[in-house]
Amino acid sequence: MERLDKAAVATMLAGMCTFLNVYSTQPLLPLLRETFHASELAVSLTVSATIFATALTAPIIGMIAERRGRKKVIVPALFLMTIPTALAATSTSLGALIFWRFAQGIFVPGVIAVMLAYVNEEWAGRGVGRAMSAYVTGTVIGGFLGRFISGVIATHWHWRATFLVLAALNLIGAFVVRAWLPLAKNFVRAEPHHGRLLRHDDRGTAPHLGQIAGLHLGLRDTGNRTQGYNCCHSWPSLRGQNSDRMKSSRRWARAAWARCIALPTRNSLAT
């Protein structure tokens, strides 16, 4: 397998392993509600806590990636994400489960935001579309498998075993990404300037992509929480509010995408 192919596979696996965890509790909401004798809103926090942590830490992790490098953030984030994923299986209360789900979200931007910057830099002018497609494919597969695995394991064994299996898959993926993802060749370290991180004549891409990542997950969570509530006898009145939020989020996402990905990619291709 050529190096470029290995890099594309590593990019896909990074996205897949991350999204294995993000929505893994969604099919478990009715079971968690019955297990912990909690309300629909309380059990939905097992999904929302991860999204909130992602949005909260994405800009910070983006700035760290501007200083340390892309792979030096992506690989540790994958390994560290395995720890709260496994510890979620030890939860004896809903509060403990929400805490570990929040801890998972802290490391999510280290992959989903920084990987976008990595692809934009390393494949610029020579197959960025292919690499981005591999990454997006990984996120879709991971989102599906996370839900599917959770449902199957909880049905035939126990919901706690779900997190142990996901942690094992995440750990395997982290080792593969560490071995196959090349070190960044086009990365230029950002230098602090008046309290900001500047790189060349701009402010770098990773902090902006971190904000996009948080917005992207928030947009998906708006719809996904509606599906989760439906599993637990949802509130129909939420659907109109969710529709308005999704329309507003899409407008912001399109503007941010044009500023942080489309325009830099077009400029790199022009040069």
Cα–Cα dist 104/247, whole Å = 28
pTM exceeding the 0.85 threshold for the entire prediction: no
| Residue 196 bridge partners (DSSP) | 193
C-alpha closest to that of 231 among 49, 65, 27, 50: 27
Could you tell me the residue range of the domain that residue 144 belongs to? 3-270
The tokens describing 96, both together, are 């403990």
Q: pLDDT at position 234, please? A: 37
Q: Is the pLDDT of residue 31 over 80?
A: yes
Cα–Cα dist 119/186, whole Å = 10
Number of domains in the chain: 1
Q: pLDDT at position 3, please? A: 44
Give the domain CATH number at 113. 1.20.1250.20
- Percentage of residues in the chain with pLDDT exceeding 70? 67
- The tens digit of pLDDT for each residue in 68-79 reads 888 999 999 999
**Backbone angle region of 181, left / alpha / beta, with phi > 0 → left and psi within -120 to 50 → alpha:** beta
The arithmetic mean of pLDDT across residues 80-93, rounded, is: 95
When comparing pLDDT for 217 and 161, which is higher?
A: 161
Cα–Cα dist 28/129, whole Å = 35
Residues 6+ apart with CB under 8 A from 189: 66, 67, 69, 199
Contact 57, 109 (CB under 8 A): yes
Cα–Cα dist 115/230, whole Å = 33
DSSP-assigned states of every residue in 107-159: HTHHHHHHHHHHHHHHSTTTTHHHHHHHHHHHHHHHHHHHHHHHHHHHHHS-H
- The tens digit of pLDDT for each residue in 153-209 reads 999 999 999 999 999 999 999 999 999 998 877 776 766 554 444 444 344 444 445
Cα–Cα dist 105/44, whole Å = 15
Contact 166, 20 (CB under 8 A): yes
Q: Is the pLDDT of residue 220 over 50?
A: no
